[in-house]
A and B are shown apart, each in its own frame.
Chain A
Amino acid sequence: MVQVNGWLAPKYLLWLWHGFGITLGLAATVALSATALGLVLAMMRRARWSWLRWLAASYVLVFRNSPLLVQLLFWYFGVATLLPETAMTWLNAAHTLSIGPVTLGWPSFEFVAGWFGLTCYSTAFIGEEFRAGLRGVPGGQYHAAAALGLGPFTAMRYVILPQALRIALPPLFGQYMNIVKNSSLTMAIGLAELSYASRQVDTETFKTFQAFGAATVLYIATIALIEVALAVFQHRGARMSHRS
């Protein structure tokens, strides 16, 4: 008989909860860094100098055209062999930084490698979403801004970017959802995030349905929250553009 009855013991719920925390922490930090770098990448693709445009285009080519799993394995196993042994010892040891009452712990190398790999990968996609948003702003807007006497930077900051962002917002949030889902691949490099935790719980308790069910529900809930956030942003954006 397959045992489906009986919920997971508190110890295992704690494992899942801890894994969920790592997933959220990883996804949030990746979303932040990839958004900042993606914006830089999109700007580079419209740069005046052709070598800079070429550089940005090759970045997208490299990171978008190879599987994320391979990239993660590369950063974790491949690059680690190139680093000197002292650097690896430092990266793998525990470090804490105390600022007043707050003590910050240096994350594990698994987390750093996962964050770095996911950021590199997601930057390529987010950069393309920003580029699409920028291209969606009609050329007349640039001329109108120039006619009002705005310089290229102020025109970008106050005229072009706000419009581009509104166009790019839904696909951008789609990328954030992808980041949450893609973070599960970091379990291949030993990061104890939600998928890893659910697999550990499954092998220890044999409560397969509960272990993977709980993880699935947590993923769906996170994605749903991102969808709600998008709806709120869009609603607010629409109201603000009506007012102005």
Chain B
Amino acid sequence: MKKNSLIAAVLGLLLSMSGVAHADRLDQIKSAGVLRVATFDSNPPFGFVDPKTNQIVGLDLDYAKAVAAKLGVKLEVQATNPANRIAFLTSNKVDLVFANFTITDERKKEVDFSTPYFASGTQFIAKKGVLTQPAQLNSLRIGADKGTTNEQQVRAQFPNATIVAYDDTPFAFAALRTGNVQAITQDGPKLVALLAKVPDRDKYEIPPFTISNDYEGVGVPKGEPRLLAAVNETLKGLEADGSAASIYDQWFGPKSAAPLPRLFKIGDPQKS
């Protein structure tokens, strides 16, 4: 017993020493008075440059602002692209990443993720009335973007669907318009953004189902449990006081340019 408590005491001392050795990131942020965040700058409506103000705006940015406000510090934004998100975190260039960051097991090996604050999934655009339930996909010609997970999910789940892969989403949409394919697939938010710009969008619809669920969270450096807890607490608080819903509605609500029903709330159980 005595020996055990001695070991525990030594371990405890070591742990607290290592805590002192590299000062907690949350304390660093508070003492510097600045929260450094990486967001996208060309991925509307998550993070993009507003041509009027030349500032980065978007859903991700609104969440970042809310977290900075909760911590009582200034927000400093660093633009990133998808490939640099993990590198920015691991090299201490930023404190948090708010960049439509999908939580995957592979990425969890490199960084920690907050509780998800946004969810999206593989969805479809079809002419109205053509596609009402997933089982119909097996008998349709589906346009996809080459090399996307959307394409791979359709192929794995609907082996009888005919998949025609194009170089990018506008090409796939052109094929849908001309009738070469009966539906096209992409992430829901990208599909609403695409449909928003189409002149005859009344002819098309996004059937209200997803065939996969991706969850987007805040990227947090590994080994910063206090920072992670602070982010999670803030996100849950935003949901509780309704500001999460109003942030969502500003970008995806019924009156926005790209309406998408809010199927996921912060703290909801995650479906695979």
Contacts and interface: CB of A to CB of B under 8 A. Distances in A.
Contacts of B167: 188
Contacts of A85: 179
Interface residues of B, number: 17
Contact of B179 (A92, A189, A190, A199): A92
Interface of A: 76-77, 80-81, 85, 88-89, 92, 109-110, 188-190, 196, 199-200, 202-204
A190 B143 contact: yes
B178 interface: yes
B71 interface: no
Given A77-B174, A203-B146, A204-B152, A196 B179 contact: no
Interface of B: 141, 143, 146-147, 152, 164-167, 171, 174-175, 177-181
B168 to A, nearest CB: 10
Given A77-B174, A190-B166, A88 B180 contact: yes
Contacts of A88: 178-180
Contact of B165 (A80, A200, A202): A200
A92 B147 contact: no
Given A77-B174, A92-B141, A204-B152, A199 B180 contact: no
Contacts of B174: 77
B146 A200 contact: yes
Majority SS of interface residues in chain B? mixed
Contacts of A89: 179
B143 A80 contact: no
A63 to B, nearest CB: 22
Given A190-B166, A200-B165, A80 B179 contact: yes
B95 to A, nearest CB: 30
Contacts of B178: 77, 80-81, 88
B155 to A, nearest CB: 9
Given A188-B167, A190-B164, A92 B152 contact: no
Contacts of A204: 152
Nearest to A88: B179
B246 to A, nearest CB: 38
Given A77-B175, A199-B147, A92 B165 contact: no
B151 to A, nearest CB: 8
Interface of A is mostly: helix
Given A92-B181, A109-B180, A200-B147, 17 more contacts: A76-B175, A76-B180, A80-B178, A80-B179, A80-B180, A88-B178, A89-B179, A110-B180, A188-B166, A188-B167, A188-B171, A189-B166, A196-B146, A196-B165, A199-B146, A203-B152, A204-B152
A190 B175 contact: yes
A165 to B, nearest CB: 39
24 contacts: A76-B175, A76-B180, A77-B171, A77-B174, A77-B175, A77-B180, A80-B180, A81-B178, A88-B180, A89-B179, A92-B179, A92-B180, A110-B164, A110-B180, A188-B171, A190-B143, A190-B166, A196-B165, A199-B147, A200-B147, A200-B165, A203-B146, A203-B152, A204-B152
A109 B175 CA distance: 11
Nearest to A113: B180
Contacts of A199: 146-147
A188 to B, nearest CB: 6
A88 B181 CA distance: 10
Nearest to A77: B174
Contacts of A189: 166
A71 B167 CA distance: 16
A9 to B, nearest CB: 15
A35 to B, nearest CB: 29
Nearest to B178: A80
Nearest to A89: B179
A242 to B, nearest CB: 53
Contacts of B166: 188-190
A203 B141 contact: no
Contact of B147 (A76, A110, A188, A203): A203
A109 B182 CA distance: 13
Top 8 A-B residue pairs of the complex, sorted by shortest distance between their CB atoms: A203-B147, A80-B178, A88-B179, A190-B164, A77-B174, A81-B178, A190-B166, A109-B180
Contacts of B141: 92
Contacts of A109: 180
Contacts of A200: 146-147, 165
A125 B178 CA distance: 30
Contacts of B152: 203-204
A205 to B, nearest CB: 11
A77 B141 CA distance: 16
